[in-house]
Structure formats: structure tokens, C-alpha cells
Amino acid sequence: MKVKPSPLELKEFVVLDFHYDFNHPEKEISIPELFKEYNYDLDFAIKTSDPALIQIFVKCDVNRGVSEPLPGYSLKVECMGMFSITENQILDSKEEMETLVVNSGVVMTISYMRTFLAGITGHFPLGRILFPSIDLKDLIARKKEQAKAKQEQSGKKKTKKGAK
């Protein structure tokens, strides 16, 4: 089936930061099982300071941020996808734009990050790590809750300043 191009166009994908530590396993272990036990943490942010340029930042930690990392890899990657809306596409609303950026842009940036991790770890001692499938709907819902709480907190601070 012929595909219809998205109005959201990927202009660039860059890795902003990457950090790797190797914790040598002291005993023989099942690598696939080990990778399943890792702590995976993912966050994203969307910046649209220029209406013609949308920047999506993704930060991922694998087997980090825990008191005792498991053997094998501890990884950190921060990346950015840069997108624009094609000029001949007109979006009907702000909500349509937000949905497009989150449902397509965030997903594409995470996919590129996932490909980067698989490619680079393919050269590491225990072989490549495949970032697991994630519940994106849950991630987006929690991100929206976090933004709402931050906005409410910011509003309370402004109210307190105005009351003084």
C-alpha cells in the first residue's frame, strides 16, 4: 500500500551524550535474562521555541540509578530529534499538532535511540542490548500528569509572590 507522508518531517537525529560502564560478571550468567532484569528509565521533553523547529529530547538510563547495578552494562544516552512541519500541511488545531508531535515525533526519536543502543552495544563484550518494548500510552499519560503538577506548583508560587 502506498504510504501517505506525515506532515511531521524528521530533519536530524543526534546523540548529545553517551556514557557506558561495564561491570564484569563474576559468574556465568544468562545474558538475555540479565538484560530483562535491568532497570530501564526513559524520559522525554519537547521544545518548540521556533514554530518551524520542534526538538524532542529523549534521555534513557539502563541499569543506572540503583544502589547496586547488575553485572554487565550501565548505559546513559541522551539524544534529540529535530522535526519540522512541512509547509504544505496545515494542521486544524493545537491539539492535532500536539498529538502528531507526541504520537509520531516522540516515537520516532525513541526508535532512533533504540537503534543507536542496539548498534553500539553490538560491539560490546556481552553483545547488543535491545531496549524493551514500552507502554508509550502510560509514559505519555505520566508525563502529562507531571507537567500538570509542575504547572500547578508554578501557579502556587506566583500566587504567593503576588500576595506579598
The DSSP string of 36-93 is: HHS-EEEEEEEEEEETTEEEEEEEEEES-SSSSPPSEEEEEEEEEEEEEE-TT---S-
Are both 77 and 115 inside the same structural domain?
yes
DSSP-derived 3-state class of residue 11: strand
Please give the model's pTM, rounded to 2 decimal places: 0.84
**Domain that residue 143 falls in:** 136-164
**Tens-place pLDDT, residues 88-144:** 666 666 777 788 888 899 999 999 999 999 999 999 999 999 999 999 999 989 988
Are both 98 and 163 inside the same structural domain?
no
Are both 59 and 127 inside the same structural domain?
yes
Are both 127 and 140 inside the same structural domain?
no
- Kindly report the CA angle at 97 between 134 and 78, in degrees rounded to 5? 45
Please give the tally of structural domains in the chain: 2
Are both 146 and 72 inside the same structural domain?
no
Helix (H) or strand (E) holding 138: helix 136-163
**Tens-place pLDDT, residues 8-66:** 899 999 999 999 999 988 888 899 999 999 999 999 999 987 767 899 999 999 999 88
CA–CA separation, 147 vs 155, rounded Å? Answer: 12
3 assigned to some structural domain: no
Are both 129 and 151 inside the same structural domain?
no
Are both 82 and 126 inside the same structural domain?
yes
Are both 73 and 110 inside the same structural domain?
yes
Question: Which residues touch 71 (CB under 8 Å, ≥6 apart)?
Answer: 23, 24, 25, 26, 29, 34
